[in-house]
Amino acid sequence: MEHQQQSSNAPTGFRVHAPLVDSVSCYCKVDSGLKTVAEARKFVPGSKLCIRPDINPNAHKSKNLRRERTRVQLPLLPGLPDDLAIACLIRVPRAEHRKLRLVCKRWYRLLAGNFFYSLRKSLGMAEEWVYVIKRDRDGKISWNAFDPVYQLWQPLPPVPREYSEALGFGCAVLSGCHLYLFGGKDPLRGSMRRVIFYSARTNKWHRAPDMLRKRHFFGSCVINNCLYVAGGECEGIQRTLRSAEVYDPNKNRWSFISDMSTAMVPFIGVVYDGKWFLKGLGSHREVMSEAYEPETNSWTPVSDGMVAGWRNPSISLNGLLYALDCRDGCKLRVYDGATDSWNKFIDSKLHLGSSHALEAAALVPLNGKLCIVRNNMSISLVDVSSPDKHVESNPHLWENIAGKGHFRTLVTNIWSSIAGRGGLKSHIVHCQVLQA
């Protein structure tokens, strides 16, 4: 009784919990859609939720750590409760987040967790950056991120070694903030099943489950936040592939889907009207096209006007299908389902030329507009919300962005074209948009 009385009268003022951000909190509860595990200290799509989210696995490793747990945590911002401090920090521009992580351990843990960026996304404060993966003149893979707010190219961690010289690999975005690289052909080891992903929230690379089949130069797309791959090539007797598979990040595993009607090496693909359209070369190098419908798990050969007039790059945005109509990407076409034909949509009235450096390599959505990215890393934004307006009287409809300190001048472009005629030319391999 005496012992119990002493325990009940023990002071409790030493145990003060932070209102929102605790160094051992599990953020799985905050964003269950991504199924993240805080103990791993990295985002692993598809992992199970924490069984014991309130227990720190390292809590009993040292006496110093136990003492630290009993102390009162310093506030995120002196003089403010943590909820108000977080309301301030989530408004800091994304370009400054690297600096925020260096301020103190609590800020680092806050920005390393899922809660911070989930809150930015739910409040409409998440920023979209353009990520460009490029093959340089020496065959090496490099990449850069363009911040449209500051119009600057931001530094990124190097691409992992297995993809530093890979050919024919796929690239896709899941959950809005994870950029996946998968498959491809290593110059020494041949076709790969490897899958890695970069998190725009942690600015780090991570591993994901390997694909079920080795393949390179294949088609890929994302439907309902699931990653689909189909066709391609692989060394061996069956060089051109018919097989297809899907990766579900919630289950964190790959599964085979129905095989394509015939083997194909796709060179263009797009998701439109709930279907995945692919166009490529068959086993005998004949041009062919197919459409995959996820609901029925079936492939169907197609040869309508959409596929016949389909050119790359192309994109589906707000229910409409767009494609570029000239090499420098200064003309846009739109597909009309009623007439099964492609129609002229908008012309920038300012054409750059048809050189390799100025060739349009990608068409991606950026903040509700169409973003055209060229091999020389120049970018144009096209507002497609008002097709009845003319560019001459509304110059904001077609806006050319000039990044500071990165774009080459016209003279430099001409010189690089002359110097590169006898060798490899740098070009964009993939382009994606990530949110954080």
Q: Would you say 328 and 372 are in contact if contact means Cβ atoms under 8 Å apart?
A: no
CA-CA distance, 152 to 149, in Å (whole number)? 8
Query: 206 exposed, middle or buried (CB, 10 Å; 0-12, 13-18, 19+)?
Result: middle
For 49, the token pair is 């939720």
DSSP 221-249: EEETTEEEEE--B-SSS--B---EEEEET
Predicted local confidence at residue 352, as pLDDT: 87
Residue 103 φ/ψ, nearest 5 degrees: -70, -50
Predicted local confidence at residue 46, as pLDDT: 46
What's the full length of the chain, in residues?
436
CA 223 to each of CA 132, 174, 226: distance values in angstroms, whole numbers, following the listed order: 22, 10, 5
Predicted local confidence at residue 73, as pLDDT: 81
Close Cβ partners of 372 (under 8 Å, ≥ 6 residues apart): 324, 329, 360, 362, 363, 379, 380, 381, 382
CA 128 to each of CA 154, 199, 205, 220, 429: distance values in angstroms, whole numbers, following the listed order: 13, 13, 19, 22, 20
Predicted local confidence at residue 235, as pLDDT: 85
Is the backbone peptide bond immediately before 19 cis, with ω within 30 degrees of 0?
A: no
Predicted local confidence at residue 396, as pLDDT: 81
Q: DSSP E strands: which ranges in 318-368?
A: 320-324, 331-336, 341-347, 360-366
Q: Would you say 276 and 221 are in contact if contact means Cβ atoms under 8 Å apart?
A: yes
Long-range contacts (CB closer than 8 Å, 24 or more residues apart) made by 304-307: 304/340, 305/339, 305/340, 305/341, 305/342, 306/272, 306/277, 306/335, 306/337, 306/340, 306/342, 307/277, 307/279
Do strands 398-401 and 265-272 pair parallel, antiparallel, or not at all (unpaired)? Answer: unpaired
Predicted local confidence at residue 386, as pLDDT: 79
Query: Tens of pLDDT along the chain (436 residues)?
Result: 444 444 444 444 444 444 444 433 444 444 444 444 444 444 444 444 444 444 444 544 555 655 555 467 889 999 999 999 999 999 999 999 999 999 999 999 999 989 999 999 999 999 999 999 999 999 999 999 999 999 999 989 999 999 999 999 999 999 999 999 999 999 999 999 999 999 999 999 999 999 999 999 999 999 999 999 999 999 876 789 999 999 999 999 999 999 999 999 999 999 999 999 999 999 888 999 999 999 999 999 999 999 988 988 999 999 999 999 999 999 999 999 999 999 999 998 888 888 999 999 999 999 999 999 999 999 999 999 877 777 766 778 898 885 433 444 343 344 334 333 444 589 999 999 999 9
Question: Residue type for 434, please?
Answer: L
At 295 the three-state DSSP class reads: coil
CA nearest to 221, candidates 333, 320, 314: 314
Q: Would you say 147 and 95 are in contact if contact means Cβ atoms under 8 Å apart?
A: yes
| 120 sits in which H/E element | helix 114-122
Q: Would you say 376 and 406 are in contact if contact means Cβ atoms under 8 Å apart?
A: no
Q: Would you say 81 and 19 are in contact if contact means Cβ atoms under 8 Å apart?
A: yes
Predicted local confidence at residue 69, as pLDDT: 53
For 99, the token pair is 């600096």
